[in-house]
A and B are shown apart, each in its own frame.
Chain A
Amino acid sequence: MNFDKELDARGLNCPLPILRCKKSLGELTTGQVLKIVATDPGAIKDFEAFSKQTGNELLSSAQAGGEFTFFMKKK
Chain B
Amino acid sequence: MDQKKLAIIATKGTLDWAYPPFILASTAAALDYSVEIFFTFYGLQLVRKDLSVLKVSPLGNPGMPMKMPFGPKWFRDINWNIPNAVQAIVPGYESLATVLMKQTIANNGVATIHDLRSMCQEAEVKFIACQMTVELFGFEHSDFIDGMEYGGAASFFEFAGDSDICLYT
Does A15 contact B27, Cβ atoms closer than 8 Å? yes
What secondary structure prevails in chain B residues at the interface with A? loop
Query: How far in angstroms is the closest Cβ of chain A from B78?
Result: 23
- With a cutoff of 8 Å between Cβ atoms, the chain B residues found around residue A13 in the complex are 108-111
- With a cutoff of 8 Å between Cβ atoms, the chain B residues found around residue A21 in the complex are 30
- With a cutoff of 8 Å between Cβ atoms, the chain B residues found around residue A12 in the complex are 109
- With a cutoff of 8 Å between Cβ atoms, the chain A residues found around residue B26 in the complex are 15, 19
A15 vs B100: C-alpha distance when bound (angstroms): 22
Is the C-beta of B124 less than 8 angstroms from some C-beta in chain A?
Answer: no
- With a cutoff of 8 Å between Cβ atoms, the chain B residues found around residue A50 in the complex are 30-31
Binding site for A on B (CB under 8 A): 23, 26-27, 30-32, 108-111, 119
Is the C-beta of A14 less than 8 angstroms from some C-beta in chain B?
Answer: yes
Is the C-beta of A28 less than 8 angstroms from some C-beta in chain B?
Answer: no
- With a cutoff of 8 Å between Cβ atoms, the chain A residues found around residue B32 in the complex are 53-54
A12 vs B9: C-alpha distance when bound (angstroms): 27
- Quick one: which of A13, A16, A53 has the most chain B CB within 10 A? A16
Does A22 contact B109, Cβ atoms closer than 8 Å? no
Does A53 contact B31, Cβ atoms closer than 8 Å? yes
